[in-house]
């Protein structure tokens, strides 16, 4: 009997490419559609009424020209016989929603089969009660995505699915690999044409996660043995949770760039990107998955393997912005780190003022710290719409012009006539801060002094955080005084690199600070072999001859050591030795020169 992998009709309907045997019966259901009878019968999918599907984009579109740093993803895994593992995964993902809002998915395993359900949108939009009730078993993994390698499409949503005739693999990934091109070549050498690959790659998945899923699908060895062979070949940032029909696996890259924590339930184990997600499902936090560690959990208990020598380089930006304030990373409570950053800012950049306000959400703890450090009272100056980004209705042009007001509104009676210190976590393009300053002045602020709890962002991240391109970063080519003038503030102060690191209570040599310093802890590949759309057709027409494209530098080169060039033949941008592919950075730079 042939395996059945059931898709919504608009994506794929052909089963001809599948190589799974009937013993790995899989149902993959999308589009808010669910069969009224048993899974695996496509006919039932057509009978249901399609519902509106989110595209996950509105958060970025609310404020034209501005997009803050975007998290890579959140991952969750649970092994707990007797528990409702699908619902544990659902609420775990709910606690991690801030890490990725483009798509969500859960896989469950019951010892016989693996079922994956995924779709575009927020966790609460993708799943409903009946969907979760249909997902039974003792092991589950979950994923909420922000795209880094591979565009934001249904095909690229996770968990990904792979396997062999005897074992199914479902995989969820937080982070970003930098040797994806090399891995793809390795798979091509083994399997031939990749568009005929029997797994996710052949079905149009263009992510690094699909490559790893393919590598883990080895018929000759156990999944545990294959993982110990594959994991050391990967470069970059990865926190994986993966599973087969029986077993939960969790692995973290040797640099531990992204966080991954282990928790204990009364009847099982849980892993999650952040400790808060463990606590959300009632698990006791045990420890972090160590850099270079693979943890395997099944009926025999928990086994730990170290597949590489640890060289810790945790992402400092997790402390600044990315993680929830109630997360604990390497024994440091993120909220306390942010308060300490604010206190340090007060020392480094004091100013005479009447009130300190924070930009919700991640600027608030630093504002509290600034108030404590300076003795200036803290107050609430903004009200945030807590549900912004929770709709997929596109704003009209009139609403777009209101821009940031769809997200934040100033408390005019609090700030009128006051000299304000406004604390935020970072400046990317500067458009947000410019709009905030203007809004505060319109609300009656006498002075607006902006303080930032991270240093200027000069470099893109290749380890799972989507910043603007180098050409779009306001700190590229502009000094602090020029940025101050650009955003219209009365004064501007960034915390020093040393001050930020000290606030994390981590040793500086155990942190990644590349987006501030340009010192990338994992060597980057050359020749444009990196980028978000590395394995995708370009959405812009690059079939120009050289004379069709303005060969002027995309970056003005006025920054120290800057040397930016657009290469027409190779279509590549080189900045201080860092190469951006025709996609990702260069592509965006081409679109927004
Ligand atoms: S480059 Fe920045 S955001 Fe990326 S991992 Fe390093 S510190 Fe974190």
Ligand 1 neighbourhood includes 319 CB (under 6 angstroms) = no
Distance CA 516, CA 316 (A): 10
Rounded Cα gap, residues 305 and 13, in angstroms? 40
Give the per-residue pLDDT at 45: 27
Q: How many CB atoms lie within 10 A of CB 204?
A: 17
Q: Is 504 exposed, middle or buried (0-12, 13-18, 19+ CB in 10 A)?
A: buried
**What is the number of helices (H) and of strands (E) in the chain?**
19, 27
Name the residue with the closest Cα to ligand 1, atom 2: 515
Could you tell me if the CB of 315 is within 6 A of ligand 1? yes
| 284: β partners | 264
pLDDT of residue 405: 73
CA distances from 538 to 269, 428, 511, 533, 552 (A): 42, 25, 34, 7, 21
Q: Is 501 near ligand 1, meaning CB less than 6 Å away?
A: no
CA of 583 to the centre of ligand 1 (A): 19
- Number of Cβ atoms within 10 Å of the Cβ of 303: 13
Residue 175 pLDDT > 80: yes
For the ranges 134-148, 316-330, 533-547, which has the lowest average pLDDT? 533-547
Average pLDDT over residues 345-359: 98
Rounded CA Rg of the chain: 24
Mean pLDDT of 83-93: 97
Give the pLDDT score at 300: 95
* Sole residue written with tokens 């463990």: 278
Report the nearest atom of ligand 1 relative to the CA of 467: 3
> What are the structural domains, with CATH classification, of the chain?
69-313 (3.60.20.10), 317-324+333-517 (3.40.50.2020), 537-593 (no CATH)
Residues 241 and 249: beta-carbon distance below 8 Å: yes
Q: What pLDDT score does 146 carry?
A: 82
- In which region does residue 236 sit, left (phi positive, over 0), alpha (psi from -120 to 50) or beta (all else)? left
Residue 26 has what pLDDT?
A: 41
Q: For residue 519, how far is its CA from the centre of ligand 1 (angstroms)?
A: 10
Q: Is the CB of 316 under 6 A from ligand 1?
A: yes
**521 vs 188: CA distance, rounded Å:** 28
Degrees to nearest 5, angle at CA 183 with 179 and 188: 150
Q: Examine residue 159 and say whether the peptide bond preceding it is cis (omega within 30 degrees of 0).
A: yes
Instruction: Indicate if the pLDDT at residue 30 is higher than 50.
Output: no
**CA 289 centroid distance within chain:** 19
Residue in 463, 469, 509, 524 to alter for ligand 1 test, most ligand atoms within 8 A of Cβ? 463
Quick check: 580 pLDDT over 80?
Answer: no
Asked if residue 36 lies in contact with residue 15, where contact means CB atoms within 8 angstroms, the answer is: no
Checking if the pLDDT of 6 tops 80, the result is no
The alpha carbon of 360 and the centre of ligand 1 are apart by a number of angstroms equal to 21
Confidence (pTM): 0.81
Query: Is the N-terminal amide bond of 17 cis, ω within 30° of 0?
Result: no
Over 80: is that where the pLDDT of 35 sits?
Answer: no
* Centroid of ligand 1 to alpha carbon of 227 (angstroms): 26
Average pLDDT over residues 428-454: 94
Which pLDDT band, with edges at 50, 70 and 90, does 196 fall under?
confident
- Least confident among 126-130, 277-281, 304-308, 396-400: 396-400
Mean pLDDT value of segment 490-507: 98
Evaluate whether 152 touches 206 at the Cβ level (below 8 Å). Answer: no
Question: What is the Cα–Cα distance from 68 to 61, expressed in whole angstroms?
Answer: 11
The verdict on the CB of residue 257 being under 6 Å from ligand 1 is yes
pLDDT for 113 equals: 93
Q: How confident is the model at residue 23 (pLDDT cuts 50, 70, 90)?
A: very low
- Distance between CA 485 and CA 536 in Å, rounded? 39
Backbone angles phi, psi at 409, to 5 degrees: -135, 135
pLDDT band (50, 70, 90) for residue 316: very high
pLDDT (average), residues 364-389: 90
Distances (CA, A) of 292 to 233, 295, 304, 547: 12, 10, 10, 49
Count how many Cα atoms sit within 13 Å of the Cα of residue 488 in the half-sphere of its side chain: 14
CA of 516 to the centre of ligand 1 (A): 8
Percentage of the residues of the chain whose pLDDT score is greater than 90 = 59
| Catalytic annotation, residues | 73
Q: Is the pLDDT of residue 130 over 60?
A: yes
Average pLDDT rounded to a whole number, residues 460-474:
84
Distance 193 CA to ligand 1 centre (A): 34
DSSP state, residue 208: H
Could you tell me which residue, 397 or 315, shows the higher pLDDT? 315
DSSP conformation letters of 438-475: HHHHHTT-SEEEEEESS----S--SSS-B---TTT-TT
In which element (H, E) is residue 211 found?
helix 208-216
Task: Flag the least confident range among 168-182, 486-500, 513-527.
Answer: 513-527
CA of 258, closest atom in ligand 1: 5
Q: Is any atom of ligand 1 closer than 6 Å to the C-beta of 522? A: no
What band does 152 get if pLDDT is binned at 50, 70 and 90?
Answer: confident
Longest dimension (CA), the chain: 77
Confidence of residue 21 (pLDDT cuts 50, 70, 90): very low
- The pLDDT tens digits for 37-76 are 223 222 222 223 333 344 444 444 444 445 555 566 999 9
Q: How far apart are CA 279 and CA 333, in angstroms?
A: 14
* Helix, strand, coil in percent for the chain, rounding step 5: 30, 25, 50
Residue nearest to ligand 1 atom 4, measured at CA = 461
Residue 250: the pLDDT is 98
Q: How confident is the model at residue 400 (pLDDT cuts 50, 70, 90)?
A: low
Supply the pLDDT for residue 198.
80
Q: What is the percentage of the chain residues whose pLDDT exceeds 70?
A: 73
Q: Which residue did the predictor score with more confidence, 580 or 340? A: 340
- The DSSP letter of residue 95 is H
Mean of pLDDT values over 330-344: 98
25 or 514, greater pLDDT: 514
Structure tokens, 154: 């249904």
Structure tokens at 581: 């592919």
Answer yes or no: is the C-beta of 511 below 6 A from any ligand 1 atom.
Answer: no
pLDDT of residue 467: 73
Report the pLDDT value the prediction gives residue 193, as an integer from 0 to 100: 79
For the chain, the average pLDDT equals 79
- Give the number of other Cβ atoms within 10 Å of residue 528's Cβ: 22
């Amino acid at each position: 009997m042939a395996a059945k992998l059931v898709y919504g009709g608009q994506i794929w309907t052909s089963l001809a490419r599948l190589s799974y045997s009937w013993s790995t019966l899989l149902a993959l259901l999308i589009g808010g559609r669910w069969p009224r009878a048993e899974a695996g019968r496509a006919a039932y999918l057509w009978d249901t009424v399609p519902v509106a599907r989110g595209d996950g984009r509105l958060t970025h579109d609310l404020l034209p020209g501005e997009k803050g740093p975007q998290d890579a993803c959140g991952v969750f895994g649970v092994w707990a016989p007797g528990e409702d593992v699908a619902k544990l995964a659902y609420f775990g993902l709910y606690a991690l929603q801030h890490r990725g809002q483009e798509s969500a998915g859960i896989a469950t395993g019951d010892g016989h089969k693996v079922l994956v359900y995924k779709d575009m949108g927020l966790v609460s939009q993708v799943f409903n009660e009946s969907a979760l009730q249909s997902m039974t078993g003792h092991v589950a993994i979950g994923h909420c995505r922000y795209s880094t390698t591979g565009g934001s499409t249904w095909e690229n949503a996770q968990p990904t699915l792979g396997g062999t005739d005897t074992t199914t693999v479902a995989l969820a990934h937080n982070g970003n690999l930098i040797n994806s091109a090399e891995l793809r070549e390795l798979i091509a050498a083994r399997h031939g044409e990749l568009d005929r690959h029997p797994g996710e790659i052949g079905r149009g998945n263009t992510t690094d996660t699909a490559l790893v899923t393919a590598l883990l699908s080895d018929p000759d060895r156990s999944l545990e043995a294959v993982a110990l062979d594959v994991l050391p070949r990967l470069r970059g940032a990865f926190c994986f949770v993966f599973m087969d029909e029986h077993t939960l696996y969790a692995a973290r890259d040797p640099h531990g760039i992204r966080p991954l924590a282990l928790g204990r339930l009364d009847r099982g184990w849980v892993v999650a990107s952040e400790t808060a997600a463990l606590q959300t499902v009632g698990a006791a936090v045990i420890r972090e998955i160590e850099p270079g560690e693979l943890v395997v959990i099944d009926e025999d208990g928990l086994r730990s393997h170290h597949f590489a020598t640890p060289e810790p380089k945790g992402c400092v930006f997790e402390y600044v912005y990315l993680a929830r304030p109630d997360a604990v990373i390497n024994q440091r409570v993120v909220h306390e780190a942010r308060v300490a950053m604010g206190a340090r800012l007060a020392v480094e950049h004091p100013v005479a003022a009447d009130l300190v306000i924070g930009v919700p959400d991640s600027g608030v703890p630093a504002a509290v710290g600034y108030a404590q450090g300076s003795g200036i009272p803290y107050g609430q100056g903004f009200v945030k719409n807590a549900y912004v980004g929770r709709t997929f209705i596109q704003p009209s042009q009139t609403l777009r012009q209101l821009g940031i007001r769809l997200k934040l509104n100033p408390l005019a009676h609090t700030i009128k006539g006051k000299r304000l210190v406004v604390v935020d976590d970072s400046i990317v393009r500067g458009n947000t801060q410019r709009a905030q300053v203007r809004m505060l002045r319109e609300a009656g602020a006498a002075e607006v002094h902006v303080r930032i709890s991270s240093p200027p962002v000069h470099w893109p991240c290749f380890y799972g955080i989507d910043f603007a391109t180098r050409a779009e970063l306001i700190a590229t080519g502009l000094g602090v005084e020029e940025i101050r003038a650009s955003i219209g503030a009365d004064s501007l102060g960034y915390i020093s690199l040393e001050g930020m690191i000290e606030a994390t209570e981590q040793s500086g040599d155990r942190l990644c600070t590349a987006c501030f310093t340009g010192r990338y802890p994992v060597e980057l590949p050359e020749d444009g072999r990196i980028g978000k759309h590395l394995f995708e057709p370009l959405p812009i027409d690059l079939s120009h001859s050289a004379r069709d494209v303005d060969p002027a530098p995309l970056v003005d080169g006025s920054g120290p050591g800057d040397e930016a060039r657009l290469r027409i033949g190779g279509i590549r941008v080189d900045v201080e030795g860092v190469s951006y592919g025709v996609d990702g950075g260069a592509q965006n730079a081409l679109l927004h020169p």
